Amino acid sequence: MSTLRLPDLCLVVLVGVSGSGKSTFAAQHFLRTEVVSSDFCRGLVSDDENDQSATKAAFDVLNYIVEQRLELGRLTVVDATNVQVEARKSLIDLARRHHVLAVAIVLDMPIDLCIARNGARVDRQFGPHVLRNQSSQLQRSLRRLKREGFHRVYHLTGEQEMAQVLVAREPVWNDRRNDHGPFDIIGDVHGCIDELVELLEVLGYCRAAGEDAYSHPEGRRVVFLGDLVDRGPGTPAVLRLAMQMVRHGSALCISGNHEVKLLRALQGTKVEVRHGLGESLEQLRAEPSSFSDEVAEFLDHLISHYVFDDGALVVAHAGLPASMHGRTSSAVRAFALYGDTSGESDEYGFPVRYPWAEDYRGSASVIYGHTPVKEPVWVNRTLCIDTGCVFGGSLTALRYPEREIVSVPAREVYYEPAKPLGVDPRKALGREPGVLDVGEVLGKHIIETRLRHTVTIREENSLAALEVMSRFAVDPRWLVYLPATMSPTATSAQSDLLESPEEAFAYYAKAGVAEVVCEEKHMGSRAVVVVFRDVGVGSHRFGFETSSNGMVYTRTGRSFFGEEDLGQRFLARVRAGIEAAGLWDELATEWLILDCELLPWSFKAEDLMRRQYAVVGAAAARSLGAEREVLEAVAARGMDVTRAIEQLNQRIGDVESFAKVYRHYGWPVGSLDDLQLAPFQILAGEGSVHALRDHAWHLDLIKRLPEADPATFRSTRTAFVTLGDRGSQERGYAWWEDLTREGCEGMVVKPTQVVHFGRDGLTQPALKVRGREYLRLVYGPEYTDPQHLARLRTRSLGRKRSLALREFSLGIEGLERFVTGEPLHRVHECAFGVLALESEEVDPRL
Amino acid sequence: MLLTITTTTSPATDLGFLLHKNPDSHFTATLSFGTAHVVYPEANHDRCTAALVVDVDPIALVRARQSSSGAELALSRYINDRPYSTSSLTSVALIKAFSTAMGGRCKERPELVNRPLSLEVKMPVVSCAQGEQLVRKLFEPLKYEVEIHPIALDERFTQWGESSLFAMTLRGEVVLAHLLSHLYVLLPVLDDEKHYWVGQEEVDKLLRQGQEWLASHPERDLIARRYLRYHHDLVDQALSRLFDDESEDSTNGEAEQSQETSVRLQSLAAQRRVAVREVLRSLGARKIVDLGCGEGRLIKELLSEQGIERVVGLDVAHRALKRASLHLQLETMTPRERSRVELLHGSVTYRDSRLVGFDAATAVEVIEHLDPTKLGAFESNVFGFARPTTVVVTTPNSDYNSLFSHLGEGEFRHPDHRFEWNRQEFDRWCRVVADSYGYSVVISGIGDEDVERGASSQMAVFSR
């Protein structure tokens, strides 16, 4: 009994004349959905599986299905006669295009059997000449199949062999998904034996007693990224060490372009001896010739890339785009060995390499070497760790899954570089690392968030956000986070109020929250502050090379200070305050993102105050005053307008209160001393997202800022309320009343633990309870008129609340992605999403 | 909102007959947005004053607007001066309270209807962003003596200065019905807003209320434009109906004059398009993408060029693309013409594979709308990624700005401009970009050329 071995992912091409039993064979050995049959496709397009006039359309459909399946990485079986070379060629091309191996299974059945089977079918009446014709085409094909490009050809003759055969699937060479490491991935060694030994020792490898191979006491393994050889002083020693480790099982090795060339030289092929090959050959000549044979044997078995850790890690000497991970074709091998080259050469005679990493959008981390860089920098989940040891740089390893970089410096320059080392790989690529692709933000998008599963951004919302983002927002590299909108509390049960604390307390109590914190709501402008510990320090973390103190931006991502120098000077104060409060050291970071309110409101909103609030105040005072004069004259004529005058006096009082409220939030800003920052959350710093830590933690740290610099920082008054404790809730209520009576906007009520899941899922992270007077700025100067209030009380919060949760989840997601070093486009997606959601229509008074 | 009308023509109390409102009672009318009251603070033989008081219900106003003008959700709909200053709401209240008087009818004193009286109108709060000058231009030709006092925005913030509000008194010997029609038309014109949707019937209202005076008013064009909310077709219709029975040459002079200014204003934009077309034609570009295409004026011209196979317009504002689609009449194009043009929503600050493969890209007056910090993204997306054979960039020449009398020192030509470069700055940018991305560049001027300050616009043609 024979076994047909098929790679896990391949294109199986059945070859056999009509009636040879292809469909039956396919049904026995493959999933129904893995088989694409030409007859079935013919039926799809023409309602008749035997309509030969529909053959072209049917094969278009067949090819399309095959293409989609291969793209998704699914084994696919083509059930068609495939006796003609043209038919097979198009399938082989398809397989190549998707870097998938093609396997032919020839069902070579006696022609009479096929003719008999066809004759028995009522729906298909091919003349015997058709089958004979097919049969002779098949016979002619047999010898050439392997040459046509099939990876394997299985030839089954006769019914018996066909019936007994087994099909086994096996993983492809590069598939080590089940291998989870841990690994120490080492970049281009190029014969630098001393540095390699030193690096291995730093990494904790040693030679156990009686062993010649290095190994790690904790079972870690080395992955060599290729280019072990050439240029350096100790190619044979490096090879020996690597070969021992591979044999011992303490290392894996992939091939680099230098190994390929060395192998060809060792095998006797005439190659151009340059780029350090000469050194290797000379050094090898000093070794016994058996060693060269051993080396040739070793190199011959190196493959060009590996996929590890359930597909999360890919190693390839020169990198690999996502569409090639785990695939096999000569194109995959060429890319893995030489990178994204086009045949062009640069002024140093080196191949021009295209910046494939900039375009990389895969989910796997790709670790590669090949192109020496001064410092490894993650670009879209790719990392080049060739730090040019042989050119006097350093030898670098990446510890995986820890993602720590370990380097040892080169002891000397062993080989003069023909061209200068790239300072920053992104710069060498000649492209701004901040460049984003429009396809990643336009149209409908579904964003996975950790807190709330998925958030859907509808197309019409992304339309609006693209314009805001492009025309008004700061550089996307700053926009790690945009604050979420916040819902007000449900309408108060008290008839003369729209909002009061009871409803907020009740909401959280019902959700099962034990304690809330009430924070004074400052009336200023929302400001997200990105601040660095020192000029230039930390900015690289955001992808900038500027000497900047950071950035302050608004809730819609606009620069708070514009081009003004004032912003940088303000940030310098903020930075110094954080220093004085000891937070830099305590949080072990060189950058922080703070969520704040910046006061006064008039600094950013003076225009609004003038155009909207002052105009209304002035018009109302004049108009109502004049009306009162008229009514008083009417009264003097003896008509009874007492009630009307009373009403008017009430209105005049309301309008005066209105002006009092907005005036309270404005003061002229002549210098930095007039600005005040009220931080209420420390969103993130190096290595941690703080935004989900409980509010007591934040308040404790933040409290120290106004203590350190009371001129720059404004403190936020707070009160903790235990829900279910009537006394505590009453004290909370009274606290709010006191705050708002003196003109404060109101308060924000938050669950102390920040993230809370109740019966209905995620609980609102905050609810605002605004003061009765402040709400005049929102609902109109005279909204407290009972007639108006009665109608304003019906307001629907559902949409606002849903929006608040979606935006909150996106905000946190963006921070988490940024902190864990995800690529810009992944972080940007979240900020873009918040902006897009903000274009949803919601009552702006909420 | 308050407006008082006083007469000193005795017997002054005849005003009550003319207005059909008894000075000794309190008249009330319900309006869709509140209540109108008429009361008399004074009524004697020598002097009589009727006061129109409008109580605007802000909530009803919002709800009414919601149904008529769609959902424009801005807080300004809730916080505004509508209840307090004169506006189209006042006009509605006038016609509701004084329709008989406005129609020129009076049963009790028919002889008074067409007689000019000494009248005085006081309005404590009139809103007019264009200020006193416009108020005078509108009312003085109608023979009013105008007294006007600006209202401070806030006495607590004196640095804010005056508001767009005025206290205003008009005095004149005038027929009451005319006075009411003047107010009816001109208050919304001053305010430059309407609380309802303006349609065909507004033309009829304007002509009916203005029949006695609008045709001879020197500001009739402005009045028609603002009253009809700048709907060109309505304005044209109103003006042509207004002059139906007049000889043509009485208007010719002015029409020509205004046309002349508009020709001059348009010319720079048109000259720019001509210059860009010339460049593209001389290079034989067949596939062109217009970055920041706006309403598609350049696209339209390019489509008429022989040999151009494909024109793609890209804009970041979705609204602009909708207008472009209308302007180009995409819907009614023949299939062949339609296949030559495409409009894309996108942004030059994002990389976009749809922009690859063009002979030429144009960015006509686009870069100055980008934040300087985003120019880098523009450069790498256009010159580094899309890499058309030719890139044409035009931008204002700030050296030339001092020749624009309306521009102050350092002021930009458009409020959205983030920068305007002089020739040296543009030249420097062009060279850096050309060097970095392997293009050569030729810079020239577009428009009137001043010996010292150069041309109004500058154009760079990058080629590789």
> With pLDDT > 90 as the criterion, what percentage of chain A qualifies?
70
Task: Report the mean per-residue pLDDT for chain B.
Answer: 87
Res B74: pLDDT: 65
B287 vs A128, residue with greater confidence: B287
| Beta-carbon separation of B160 and A610 below 8 A | yes
Instruction: Using the predicted structure, report yes or no on whether residue A712 has a pLDDT greater than 90.
Output: yes
What distance in Å separates residue A386's CA from the closest CA in chain B?
26
Res A750: pLDDT: 96
Query: Of all helices (H) and strands (E), which one includes residue A453?
Result: strand A453-457
Given A466, A619, A663, which is nearest B156 (Cβ)?
A663
| Range with lowest mean pLDDT among A284-288, A339-343, A646-650, B208-212 | A339-343
How far apart (Å, rounded) are the C-alpha atoms in residues A612 and A614? 6
Q: How confident is the model at residue A357 (pLDDT cuts 50, 70, 90)?
A: confident
Instruction: Using the predicted structure, report yes or no on whether residue B252 has a pLDDT greater than 60.
Output: no
Given B73, B84, B376, which is nearest A620 (Cβ)?
B84
Domain formed by A175-428, architecture: 4-Layer Sandwich (3.60)
Q: How confident is the model at residue A54 (pLDDT cuts 50, 70, 90)?
A: confident
- Per DSSP, A540 falls in state G
Instruction: Using the predicted structure, report yes or no on whether residue B460 has a pLDDT greater than 50.
Output: yes
Given A434, A438, A780, which is nearest B78 (Cβ)?
A780
User: Residue A739, class by beta-carbon neighbours within 10 Å (0-12 exposed, 13-18 middle, 19+ buried)?
Assistant: buried
Question: Is the minimum CB–CB distance between B346 and chain A shorter than 8 Å?
Answer: yes
Phi, psi of A141 (to 5 degrees): -75, -30
Interface test with B, best of A435, A479, A846 (most B CBs within 10 A): A435
| Beta-carbon separation of A637 and B41 below 8 A | yes
Chain A residue nearest residue B59, CA to CA: A788
Is residue A280 within 8 Å of residue A229, measured between CB atoms?
A: yes
Instruction: Using the predicted structure, report yes or no on whether residue A618 has a pLDDT greater than 70.
Output: yes
Interface test with B, best of A613, A623, A664, A835 (most B CBs within 10 A): A623
CATH class (in words) of the domain with range A3-170: alpha beta
Interface test with B, best of A358, A470, A662, A776 (most B CBs within 10 A): A470
Interface test with A, best of B28, B127, B155, B371 (most A CBs within 10 A): B371
Instruction: Using the predicted structure, report yes or no on whether residue B251 has a pLDDT greater than 50.
Output: no
| Beta-carbon separation of A616 and B346 below 8 A | no
How far apart (Å, rounded) are the C-alpha atoms in residues A102 and A32? 19
Chain A residue nearest residue B51, CA to CA: A630
pTM recorded for the entire structure? 0.76
| Beta-carbon separation of B157 and A620 below 8 A | no
b/e sequence A582-620, b meaning 16+ C-beta within 10 Å: ebbeebebbbbbbbbbbbbbbbbbbebbbbbbbbbbbbb
Chain A residue nearest residue B373, CA to CA: A475
Given A464, A622, A841, which is nearest B125 (Cβ)?
A622
Q: How confident is the model at residue B310 (pLDDT cuts 50, 70, 90)?
A: very high
What distance in Å separates residue B26's CA from the closest CA in chain A?
9
Res B292: pLDDT: 94
Res A270: pLDDT: 87
What distance in Å separates residue B198's CA from the closest CA in chain A?
24
Pairing state between β A152-157 and A101-108: parallel
Q: Indicate whether this complex's ipTM tops 0.95.
A: no
Instruction: Using the predicted structure, report yes or no on whether residue A424 has a pLDDT greater than 50.
Output: no
| Domain edges within chain B | 2-197, 272-463
Question: Is the minimum CB–CB distance between B85 and chain A shorter than 8 Å?
Answer: yes
| Beta-carbon separation of B370 and A610 below 8 A | no
* Chain centroid, CA B59 distance in Å: 27
| Segments in A673-823 forming alpha helices (H) | 695-702, 704-708, 726-741, 776-779, 786-792, 798-819
Res B159: pLDDT: 84
What distance in Å separates residue B153's CA from the closest CA in chain A?
6
A844: which chain B residues are within 8 Å (Cβ-Cβ)?
Answer: 73-75, 78
What distance in Å separates residue A413's CA from the closest CA in chain B?
31
Question: Is the minimum CB–CB distance between B4 and chain A shorter than 8 Å?
Answer: yes
Instruction: Using the predicted structure, report yes or no on whether residue B170 has a pLDDT greater than 80.
Output: yes
| Beta-carbon separation of B84 and A633 below 8 A | no
B121: which chain A residues are within 8 Å (Cβ-Cβ)?
Answer: none
Collapsed DSSP state (helix, strand, coil) of residue A127: coil
Is residue A384 within 8 Å of residue A368, measured between CB atoms?
A: yes
Is residue A259 within 8 Å of residue A299, measured between CB atoms?
A: yes
Instruction: Using the predicted structure, report yes or no on whether residue A619 has a pLDDT greater than 80.
Output: yes
| Beta-carbon separation of A637 and B42 below 8 A | yes
Given A610, A630, A777, which is nearest B39 (Cβ)?
A630
B156: which chain A residues are within 8 Å (Cβ-Cβ)?
Answer: 659, 663
Interface test with B, best of A342, A438, A558 (most B CBs within 10 A): A438
* Other CB atoms within 10 Å distance of the CB of residue B74: 10
| Beta-carbon separation of B26 and A637 below 8 A | no
Task: State the amino acid at position B460 in one-letter form.
Answer: A
| Range with lowest mean pLDDT among A3-12, A676-685, A735-744, B240-249 | B240-249
DSSP, residue by residue, B77-112? GTS-STTTSBSHHHHHHHHHHSHHHHTT--SS-GGG
Q: How confident is the model at residue B64 (pLDDT cuts 50, 70, 90)?
A: low
Per-residue pLDDT averaged across B140-145, rounded? 95
| Domain edges within chain A | 3-170, 175-428, 440-483+804-837, 491-521+718-796, 601-664
Question: Is the minimum CB–CB distance between B26 and chain A shorter than 8 Å?
Answer: yes
B417: which chain A residues are within 8 Å (Cβ-Cβ)?
Answer: none
Given B154, B384, B385, which is nearest A614 (Cβ)?
B154
Q: How confident is the model at residue A495 (pLDDT cuts 50, 70, 90)?
A: confident
Show Cβ contacts of residue A422 under 8 Å, excluding neighbours closer than 6 positions.
Answer: A371, A372, A373, A374, A428
B74: which chain A residues are within 8 Å (Cβ-Cβ)?
Answer: 844
Angle formed at CA B380 by CA B288 and CA A564, multiple of 5 degrees: 120
Per-residue pLDDT averaged across A90-111, rounded? 93
pLDDT tens track for B260-302: 444 444 578 888 999 999 999 999 999 999 999 998 999 999 9
Question: Is it true that the peptide bond before A171 is cis, omega within 30 degrees of 0?
Answer: no
Interface test with A, best of B6, B66, B347 (most A CBs within 10 A): B347
| Beta-carbon separation of A615 and B124 below 8 A | no
Question: Is the minimum CB–CB distance between B44 and chain A shorter than 8 Å?
Answer: no
Per-residue pLDDT averaged across B109-135, rounded? 91
How far apart (Å, rounded) are the C-alpha atoms in residues A794 and A600? 32
Instruction: Using the predicted structure, report yes or no on whether residue B71 has a pLDDT greater than 60.
Output: no
User: Residue A658, class by beta-carbon neighbours within 10 Å (0-12 exposed, 13-18 middle, 19+ buried)?
Assistant: buried
A441: which chain B residues are within 8 Å (Cβ-Cβ)?
Answer: 350
A618: which chain B residues are within 8 Å (Cβ-Cβ)?
Answer: 151-154, 163, 165
pLDDT tens track for A203-242: 999 998 888 899 999 999 999 999 999 999 999 999 999 9
Which tokens in the block code for residue A622? 């004049």
How far apart (Å, rounded) are the C-alpha atoms in residues B31 and B93? 7
Chain A residue nearest residue B5, CA to CA: A630
Question: Is the minimum CB–CB distance between B351 and chain A shorter than 8 Å?
Answer: yes
Instruction: Using the predicted structure, report yes or no on whether residue B29 has a pLDDT greater than 80.
Output: yes
Chain B residue nearest residue A775, CA to CA: B79
Instruction: Using the predicted structure, report yes or no on whether residue A701 has a pLDDT greater than 90.
Output: yes
Res B200: pLDDT: 85
**How many residue pairs from chains A and B have C-beta atoms closer than 8 A?**
179
Given B75, B81, B316, which is nearest A471 (Cβ)?
B316
Instruction: Using the predicted structure, report yes or no on whether residue B52 has a pLDDT greater than 90.
Output: yes
Per-residue pLDDT averaged across A676-693, rounded? 94
| Beta-carbon separation of A441 and B160 below 8 A | no
CATH class (in words) of the domain with range B2-197: alpha beta
Interface test with A, best of B84, B151, B366, B433 (most A CBs within 10 A): B84
Instruction: Using the predicted structure, report yes or no on whether residue A776 has a pLDDT greater than 50.
Output: yes
What distance in Å separates residue A463's CA from the closest CA in chain B?
7
Task: Report the mean per-residue pLDDT for chain A.
Answer: 91
- CATH of B272-463, picked from 3.40.50.170, 3.30.2020.30, 3.40.50.150, 1.10.620.20, is 3.40.50.150
A612: which chain B residues are within 8 Å (Cβ-Cβ)?
Answer: 75-76, 79-80
B26: which chain A residues are within 8 Å (Cβ-Cβ)?
Answer: 639, 641
